[in-house]
Amino acid sequence: MNSRSSAHTIARNAMPDLGAHGRLGRMGSASTRSLRYATSPLLASKTPPWRSRFVVLLVGLGFAVLLGRAAYVQIIATQFFQIQGEKRFVHTQTLPASRGRILDRNGLVLATSVALATVKVDTRAFSPDAAQRRTIARALGMTEAELLERVDGGGTVTLRRHVEEPAWREIKALTDADDKLKPKERRLSGLHEEREYRRRYPEGEAAAHVVGYTDSDDIGRAGVELLLQHQLEGHKGQRSVVRDRLGRVVEDVGDVALPRHGSDITLSIDSKIQFDAWKRARDAVIAHNAKAASVVVLDSATGEVLAMANYPGADPNKRGRHAATLLQNRAASDASEPGSTMKPFVIARALDSRRYSPSTPIDTAPGRMVITGTTITDAHPHGTLTVSEVLQKSSNVGTAKLALAMERQELWETYAALGLGQKPRIEFPHVATGKLRPWKTWRPTDHARVSFGYSASASVLQMARAYTVFARDGDIAPLTLIKRQATEGAGGVTGNSGPAGAAAASGGVPGQPVFSASSARQVREMLRLAASPGGTAPDLQRLTLGYSVAGKTGTAKKLVGAEYADGKYRAWFVGLAPVSAPRIVVAVMVDEPRNGKYYAGDVAAPVFSQVVQNTLRSLNVPPDVDVKTQISAKPVPAETESL
């Protein structure tokens, strides 16, 4: 082979065989398409066993954890998760209980409860625009700044309690889904109401001192509301509800505990008599520029309190706008020296001793007497007076002489039997005990002064009760502010021949004897004279049309600190009517009249007269005094005679 052929051969061998390359390419492509991963040399390598077992173990552990968690949630801690779930969509709603009503003796409402809306807001869903904020703030009586401050704290917030119905309807309209006039996006969410009861007092200030009032939580704070809290209060119920995002109740869940409402209470108070007594007390305070006035009216047969009024006072419907002291019943809670209204008790005890009679003369000249350095004087010197005239003229000297003729213990026991110095047994809070010092501590001056109403004190209610001894022929009536049943007291009166039996037989209740019937009747006639010309209230009978009256004035200097203040007095009048068959006892006290007149005959007696007339007419008691018709005729002009 030559060198050229040899070079050609080498060159050919050096050049790639394109045909062969093409064939190799096609063969490689076919091999790739026919390759299987299971026969891959890579996968053919052995995997360590622990790796697969580890993966299986992890999967098993995961299932075990999930199973354990499911068991924990569904079996072990199911109560916890139910509670947590309910907190997010189930709410406990309180069902308010209505407080019992307070009624007068005729069934008229003195206090009742009205369900009002308490507006609450869920701040998470509450997003009002400017106009809605203004509407809500105006309806709730607050500024927009106050509204924003309330909702700034988060959670569920109470915006206002006891919202009146018109205001709540205005707010509710903002969330009303049926209101087609508002775009849906402007309807408020998060607002809802809860119903709570608020007390209403139809008689307002006139009966406030008896009925009392409740606080914002409907708990009694004064008067009958406080005294009979347990009978009046109701017991709230509750239910579990599901609310939607707008705060509306969707459905009830679980059992419903219904509320139990309070019991109604019927008082002995007559609302008409109560209002009239309050009005007369108010008029007296205004007319005489007085500090205060109190009036008590008792049914002498039953001991029922028909009225217990004070002025000034406050309207219990406007809580928070007045001082609590204005609703304190001063007729029952305040005690002061009653002055000459105590004298009839001394006279009655003197008559009971058989040492005196109504005509026994008592020397009161020269109108004063000195006892251990203390001078006792009469307003006017009278000379010699009979026992009857001592009471009619209200002689301090004559009464003191009668008292000094008795043992101190005898006079003290008389006052104690009348309930002085003791807390009255009546269904009312904070009643005054009054002051009656033990008789062993009495000095001669005290012995004399206590006979005409000094060195001792009593409330208006205590004095009214004490005077029932003269209306009931010697026995004192048991007091009550709760209406007595018609049959009460009737069961134990058969065979009673004394004053208690007479009172019960006439429709009343038996009381505690204090004086003999004859002495009580004699003093009653003396009290009639005191309310007639010649007595200390000479115009009283003339002013009281249709009914005979009997009573006693008392003008007592006012004790300020340890001294009696000059020019400061309390004017008292306590009496009964009609004298022929007493039905009521009325006590009046006007504190510190400052308009020129301060004697009880001018200040307190006219109030007594007005209250007696209106009360007896209201009770349908027939007049026992002829009323002379007085007609004032004026000449009729000739041109009007034919009209």
Which of 527, 467, 521 minimizes the C-alpha distance to 499?
A: 521
298 compared with 494, residue with greater pLDDT: 298
**Pair type for strands 374-377 and 368-371:** antiparallel
Residue 45: the pLDDT is: 66
pTM: 0.79
> Which residue bears the tokens 């009256």?
549
Q: Is 580 a catalytic residue?
A: no
Total H helices, total E strands in the chain: 24, 21
In order, the DSSP letters of 306-350 are EEEEEES---TTSTTSS-GGGGS-HHHH--B--GGGGHHHHHHHH
| CA dihedral for 117, 122, 126, 130, sign (positive or negative) | positive
Mean pLDDT (the chain, rounded): 84
Longest dimension (CA), the chain: 195
Q: Residue 491: in which H helix or E strand, if any?
A: none
For the segment 519-556, what is each residue's pLDDT rounded down to a tens digit? Answer: 999 999 999 999 999 999 999 999 999 999 999 999 99
Phi, psi of 39 (to 5 degrees): -100, 10
Mean pLDDT calculated for residue range 347-351 = 97
User: What's the full length of the chain, in residues?
Assistant: 643
Residue 37: the pLDDT is: 57
Inter-residue contact 133 to 144 (CB < 8 Å): yes
Q: Which CA distances in Å does 332 have to 305, 420, 434, 450, 464?
A: 11, 13, 10, 21, 11
Mean pLDDT calculated for residue range 480-507 = 53
For the segment 156-198, what is each residue's pLDDT rounded down to a tens digit? Answer: 888 888 888 888 888 888 876 444 444 444 577 778 788 888 8
Q: Which CATH class is domain 92-266?
A: alpha beta
Residue 418: the pLDDT is: 97
For the segment 236-286, what is each residue's pLDDT rounded down to a tens digit? Answer: 887 777 766 555 667 767 677 788 899 999 999 999 999 999 999 999 999
From 113, 300, 336, 340, the catalytic residue? 340
Band the pLDDT of 306: cuts 50, 70, 90.
very high
For the segment 454-468, what is each residue's pLDDT rounded down to a tens digit? Answer: 999 999 999 999 999
Residue 501: the pLDDT is: 42
- Please check the confidence at residue 28 and state whether its pLDDT lies above 60: no
C-alpha 357 chain-centroid distance: 50
Q: What value, to the nearest 5°, has the Cα angle with vertex 349 and ends 346 and 354? A: 130
Helices (H), 439-498: 444-449, 460-466, 468-471
- Please check the confidence at residue 300 and state whether its pLDDT lies above 60: yes
| Dist. CA 430–CA 329, nearest whole Å | 9
256 compared with 302, residue with greater pLDDT: 302
For the segment 565-576, what is each residue's pLDDT rounded down to a tens digit? Answer: 989 999 999 999
- Please check the confidence at residue 368 and state whether its pLDDT lies above 80: yes
Residue 35: the pLDDT is: 53
Mean pLDDT calculated for residue range 377-404 = 95
- Please check the confidence at residue 491 and state whether its pLDDT lies above 50: no
Residue 325: the pLDDT is: 75
Which of 241, 191, 244 minimizes the C-alpha distance to 90?
A: 241
